[in-house]
């Protein structure tokens, strides 16, 4: 890997705020961001990337490449949970394996945003349709994960939600609804009218991202402390498997698009793991699954790996393939 590229990524202010959050927890600081503020910033980030993606998509004709990208994204989200489930089932319960597999088949919107920031440093921009790809990758992974659990244990516990209810929840989850809705609004909004909110969607974006990653750093440190009891296997899984997924997506996406920015985003989406949409769905789909396992794996292991090392690694792979 290019050492200068890694240093540039590690000295990105947004990443440094993430590290400050970890340091704040380790130093037992009373630094705290109110939960309502964190939720607002999360919704803002989703609104901003969705709206900007819709605006970019509005100026791009629907092409075979865009349709192929949407299909490739859904294929990744459906295939990753299948093979990861059977790896995990060797060491974990059916429900834990299914929940973790769903998390790794789904995506992390914040890692997606970090990749967008990385591309801006490279003076590149992804296609607006990649926001739609991200949105479409949430639900398939959840559905496949639940189906794998049901297949392995055809007698689910009483009170577990129906598959239709789970699909509905996956599609109407707040984060999915916000980004899909913003994408549609950006797509149909009048260009001149949309320019009026451009300072809100672009100029302050990185500042809000830095504050959000500060909170993510503190949350990561708290979650990881509770996660250590699960041992080396799941920690190694949280690094090695996403890295493999990201590298494979970086290579295979070359058959879908020649654009290096879009290929990096595919790699990041394949290599990230959900710690928002999937946990919300698993509360009703797999109440036996331990959130103290699949949330810290995604947030405490895979998320920091991707924003520190994974993104520049995938970028190098894109450049070599």
Tell me, what CATH number does 14's domain have? 1.20.1530.20
- CA-nearest of 163, 116, 61 to 264 is 116
For residue 95, give every residue at least 6 positions away whose Cβ sits within 8 Å of its Cβ, in sequence order, or none: 149, 153, 286, 288, 289
For residue 289, give every residue at least 6 positions away whose Cβ sits within 8 Å of its Cβ, in sequence order, or none: 93, 95, 96, 98, 99, 282
pLDDT of residue 226: 61
When pLDDT is averaged across residues 33-49 and rounded to a whole number, the result is 87
Asked if 171 and 39 count as a contact pair (C-beta separation under 8 A), the reply is no
> pLDDT exceeding 70 applies to what percent of the chain?
91
∠ Cα 244 246 248 (to 5°)? 65
Q: Is the pLDDT of residue 118 over 70?
A: yes
- End-to-end CA gap in the chain: 14
For residue 107, give every residue at least 6 positions away whose Cβ sits within 8 Å of its Cβ, in sequence order, or none: 77, 134, 137, 138, 141, 269, 272, 273, 274
Provide, for the chain, the percentages of residues in helix, strand and coil under a 3-state DSSP scheme, each rounded to the nearest 5: 80, 0, 20
When pLDDT is averaged across residues 255-274 and rounded to a whole number, the result is 96
Q: How far apart are CA 317 and CA 321, in angstroms?
A: 6
Q: Where are the beta strands (DSSP E) in 82-178?
A: none
Single pTM value for the model: 0.82
Residue 105 per-residue DSSP state: H
Confidence of residue 147 (pLDDT cuts 50, 70, 90): confident
When pLDDT is averaged across residues 65-84 and rounded to a whole number, the result is 94
pLDDT of residue 157: 56
Q: 145 versus 321: which is more confidently predicted?
A: 145
pLDDT of residue 1: 55
Q: Is the pLDDT of residue 186 over 90?
A: no
Q: Is the pLDDT of residue 154 over 80?
A: no
Number of domains within the chain: 1
When pLDDT is averaged across residues 24-33 and rounded to a whole number, the result is 92
Confidence of residue 247 (pLDDT cuts 50, 70, 90): very high
User: Reduced to 3 states, what is the DSSP secondary structure of residue 100?
Assistant: helix
pLDDT of residue 7: 65
Domain coverage including residue 188 = 3-24+33-320
Q: Is the pLDDT of residue 103 over 70?
A: yes
When pLDDT is averaged across residues 185-201 and rounded to a whole number, the result is 84
When pLDDT is averaged across residues 85-99 and rounded to a whole number, the result is 92
Residue 147 per-residue DSSP state: H
Q: How many CB atoms lie within 10 A of CB 236?
A: 11
Confidence of residue 174 (pLDDT cuts 50, 70, 90): confident
pLDDT of residue 292: 79
């Amino acid at each position: 890997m290019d050492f200068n590229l890694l240093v540039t990524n590690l000295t990105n202010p947004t990443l440094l705020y993430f590290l400050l959050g970890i340091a704040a927890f380790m130093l037992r600081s009373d630094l705290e961001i109110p939960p309502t503020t964190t939720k607002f910033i999360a919704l803002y980030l989703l609104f901003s990337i969705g709206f900007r993606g819709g605006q970019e998509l509005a100026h791009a004709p629907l092409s075979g490449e865009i349709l192929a990208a949407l299909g490739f994204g859904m294929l990744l989200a459906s295939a990753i949970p299948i093979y990861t489930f059977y790896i995990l089932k060797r060491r974990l319960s059916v429900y834990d394996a299914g929940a973790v597999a769903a998390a790794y088949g789904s995506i992390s919107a914040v890692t997606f945003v970090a990749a967008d920031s990385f591309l801006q440093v490279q003076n590149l921009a992804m296609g607006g349709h990649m926001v739609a790809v991200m949105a479409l990758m949430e639900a398939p992974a959840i559905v496949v994960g639940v189906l794998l659990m049901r297949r392995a244990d055809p007698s689910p516990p009483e009170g577990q939600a129906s598959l239709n209810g789970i699909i509905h929840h996956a599609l109407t989850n707040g984060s999915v609804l916000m980004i899909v809705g913003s994408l549609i609004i950006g797509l149909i909004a009048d260009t001149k009218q949309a320019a009026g909110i451009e300072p809100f969607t672009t100029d302050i974006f990185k500042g809000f991202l830095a504050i959000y990653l500060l909170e993510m750093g503190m949350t990561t440190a708290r979650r990881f402390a509770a996660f250590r009891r699960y041992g080396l296997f799941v920690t190694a899984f949280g690094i090695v498997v996403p890295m493999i997924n990201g590298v494979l997506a970086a290579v295979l996406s070359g058959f879908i698009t020649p654009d290096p920015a879009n290929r990096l985003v595919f790699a990041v989406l394949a290599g990230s793991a959900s710690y928002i949409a999937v946990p919300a769905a698993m509360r009703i789909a797999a109440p036996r699954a331990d959130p103290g396992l699949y949330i810290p794996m995604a947030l405490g292991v895979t998320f920091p790996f991707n924003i520190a090392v994974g993104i520049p690694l995938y970028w190098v792979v894109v450049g070599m393939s």
